[in-house]
Structure 1
């Protein structure tokens, strides 16, 4: 038997919960399918020392301020997990955990959602699967012969896992800087490499400022004014306290990217080599959208065209929380609320509710 719903939300992290909040307020019949066995989204899998770079009040989903974490200006990941679990319970959101959605396809006037526990027909679908489950690893010469350990950001937990090892951290974004700082402050022998010199934002900038800048850019583009450049115009790395401390102590000087891997290390542009036991690839993510493959929405460059969150080729489908291309700052806690509200508003209009 195939069950019917107004809306299916795929993904129960912060974006899926924000969508659920607005769907509940609209009175729509919906279910949220989440592959993870417990609430908290990808925040359950981050490294031990990770903290937000915004205060709790500026890291909230719609309708419920995140409470402050005692002793912390910037809450840690565990506090975020607790907040998301409480949010899900507080609004009685119908999240089914441990359910994997493997396909969404057209089925007449509905979209069919195939899961590992059955099929559903929905009048609209919101995909909110994020990016954490699709880590990106670049192709580097010699990668197949390197005998040491290689992990992505998703596999990093603590400096203690690398004690006594020589480690290279690759990546000039926030994750690369924070993990490099985490290792360096713990005394791990570290080399940090980046494609270009690191661009630190001013020390007094945090997530509050970044949200305002992203919003201003979005508004300017909507009004036909020039592109302000948004957050990228300010820099790539938020100087959170550990990063600032490691940088100011001279513990994380960045080197240009190595040219190849060897069996026991890396080779630099001048031909010299360094012995390395581990490489941590902080090289970003790709949107987790394989469940949408049956819809054949990708263009020539693999991109799905949207107007805000709404997919142009399939207006019954909305993409939420994948970054600025689906709403300004939509991959952040504070930023996802507005595009979630707009997506649900459009879906209610489509369904004439």
Structure 2
């Protein structure tokens, strides 16, 4: 799709194969579209390698290499969960603020099974529940260099679309000293990476795990279906936008699993489109 317009209750979708006219459009291209790598001062001078978490590739390639992972969100912990299973060189996690972390399993129970219940509760209450679960699962993480917890993981998910991190071995690797938690990155110089507390590291590889940008602005911005940051403007939680006949499936993070939420959104769109055809 190249562009999307709406005139007289119908959409015009410009594609490489011509224009498609339709009464309803479902966009399901995925939320994490544009990898973000911060423009750190001096990064062009760095003699090591800088890549995004999306380009992690074969984890065996990191064997014996020193690696700095920047960012403690879902993608950062996903990277660390994998790297903790490899005999790397020194492995660091750079954090500017405390992450919200849930264990993949707690006492053999898959924590994600509670997500439908969590999604039905007030966000502020879920903030506390996530924080308490994190404390029960991992104890006081400040003893391992983590910043003090903020109890706002659910709020950040709802308001800023920052997914809650899922631990599957990374925290244990921190506890046994395989991963060292350090301060946030400020700048690069040659082979060195400077941190906000004044310390310096010299990693072979820096992995930016600070998230993704939206690719929706160019397509949906003119319709008013996304805000200035490319985040969907929705009516409710099931992917229906403020533009009649336009649905976004799999674009909005939620406390339920991604696939469960996308399935609910797809079914809602299908039912709504069926009613449109019958009217």
TM normalised by structure 2 equals 0.74
CA 297–187 in structure 1, closer or farther in 2 if over 3 Å, else same? same
Aligned to 2:186: 259
What's the CA shift for 1:266? 0.3
1:3-35 deviations in whole A, cap 9, x for unaligned? xxxxxxxxxxxxxxxxxxxxxxxxxxxxxxxxx
Q: Is the 8 A contact 1:104 1:111 kept in 2?
A: yes
1:307-322 alignment, distance < 5 Å: 307-308=235-236, 309-312=239-242, 314-322=243-251
Give the gaps of 5 or more residues in structure 2: 135-163
Number of aligned pairs?
243
Q: Is the 8 A contact 2:81 2:167 kept in 1?
A: no
Aligned to 2:19: 119
Aligned to 2:272: 346
1:137 paired to 2:63:
no
1:249-307 deviations in whole A, cap 9, x for unaligned? 33123212122122212012343322222211111123331322342444455544211
1:102-117 alignment, distance < 5 Å: 102-117=2-17
Distance in 2, Cα, partners of 1:198 & 1:254: 12
Give the gaps of 5 or more residues in structure 1: 1-100
What's the CA shift for 1:194? 1.8
Distance in 2, Cα, partners of 1:166 & 1:335: 37
1:329 paired to 2:230:
no
Distance in 2, Cα, partners of 1:203 & 1:122: 42
CA 280–315 in structure 1, closer or farther in 2 if over 3 Å, else same? same
1:272 paired to 2:199:
yes
1:127-166 alignment, distance < 5 Å: 127-166=27-66
Higher relative contact order (CA 8 A, sep 6+): 2
Distance in 1, Cα, partners of 2:130 & 2:229: 22
Aligned to 2:88: 188
1:293 paired to 2:190:
no
Aligned to 2:176: 249
Q: Is the 8 A contact 1:125 1:316 kept in 2?
A: yes
What's the CA shift for 1:219? 3.1
What's the CA shift for 1:211? 5.3
1:28-66 deviations in whole A, cap 9, x for unaligned? xxxxxxxxxxxxxxxxxxxxxxxxxxxxxxxxxxxxxxx
1:212 paired to 2:114:
yes
List structure 1 runs of 4+ shifted beyond 6 angstroms.
none
Q: Is the 8 A contact 1:126 1:320 kept in 2?
A: yes
Distance in 1, Cα, partners of 2:54 & 2:229: 26
What's the CA shift for 1:171? 1.4
